[in-house]
Structure 1
Amino acid sequence: MDMTIFIVEDDVAIFNSLKERLEQWSLHVTGPDDFHDVMGAFIQEKPHLVMMDIQLPAYDGFHWCREIRAVSKVPIIFLSSRDHPMDMVMAMNMGADDYIQKPFHTDVLLAKIQAILRRTYAYGEEASDVLEWNGAVIDMKRGVIRKDSEEVELTKNEFFILAVLVQSTDEIVSRDDLIRKLWDDERFVNDNTLTVNMTRLRQKLAELELGEAVITKKGLGYMAITL
């Protein structure tokens, strides 16, 4: 199984040094291009382990740890020059798997990474299946949508409709296609049922300021758009 390590580190020299060392052990290493959108890169890369500094541009490592933990159980290791005990306590309370102080010995770090990967994926556990859409995170396993620390729960039908639309973002999905995908037997569903579900879905999306992100194409169907 190929393993991806996601390193959130704004010190280019440290990032490149870690990347070079870890790739010698056949680990794929990546990181965010934009430190304002760490979650977008995390969702796109679907890493098996995250290494994160505390002091970062825009938002600190604690913020991104909370965001990741809201949708994923992926292992997280903090790498930081800060040595205050409270930082370590906060990191562990937020769900970090380890806290390693800089400077560190690369071989020791590698041993910890390998141990965590073996422990986590020995039984084939994968990272959470999530989608990103207009700055929101859609958790496919929990059936919730989250944006800026606000979380909205959807019913099974509402969530399924949203997932179908988002997976075809900026493409029209017909009402008939939605009905066929929602229910095995269309004879027990009238057209109004879908309309009711769509209305409720839009009301909940409005709580996240995404009410205008699902539009109706008259006579054609619905479309999730990129705002």
Structure 2
Amino acid sequence: FSSEAVIRVDELDATIELMLYTDQSYSKAYSSSPTIELRDKVYVEVTVTEPADFFLVRINECWATQSSQPRTAEGLVHTLLMNGCVNDQTVVFLNGSTGQPGRNGDSSTVRYSFDMFRFTSTPHDLYLHCTVQLCEPDDHVSCTPNCKSIAKREAVRADPALGLLSYGPIRIEMPDGAQSSVLMTVVLPVAAVWTVGFFLIILITMAKAGSRRLAQTEEH
């Protein structure tokens, strides 16, 4: 289960693939539409499969939508990467299968992870979209984004070797704790209302009984 795009660079067709993996070892990719638990790590890989180990690949943008259409104006949108830099603070670039920090645009494969989230409105399933750029093998300087430089981060790169990859749907599974908290959020206020109401009834009953006794005492 993956997404592919073909980018033409100097009369050469390059195939780029986007896949999601089950863990940070990147040894097992999802074979069908994945279901991932809320707040679990999502492991993303973008790689040039053909020609292998030749072009450098840089992810310019990645964003999640409720729709399979990447540029739709409908529904909610959450941006993970912008101009090659982290926009979601849970995003971490990874290096190979070691799980160590990596860099964007430094090789023919880019890997990163982010924490699974959930859109506040339905549908809760999401689609992942990424725009990617290919660079010449010796173009490490311009292909690697300098996210500490505001001027460079905001600059628009006019490189024609661009492609769009879309992946999904990615389904969200709510953990047992989250479901329990939702249930408690509903049950506890209701229980509190019933408890307060019960004590009010007792107080009213006691007050009425006291009034009757007082009235009887005055009559005698």
Whether TM exceeds 0.5 here: the answer is no
Question: TM-score, structure 2 length as denominator?
Answer: 0.24
Structure with higher RCO (Cα < 8 A, 6+ apart): 2
TM-score by length of 1: 0.24
Q: Report the structure, 1 or 2, having the larger strand content.
A: 2
The structure whose residues are more often helix, as a share, is: 1
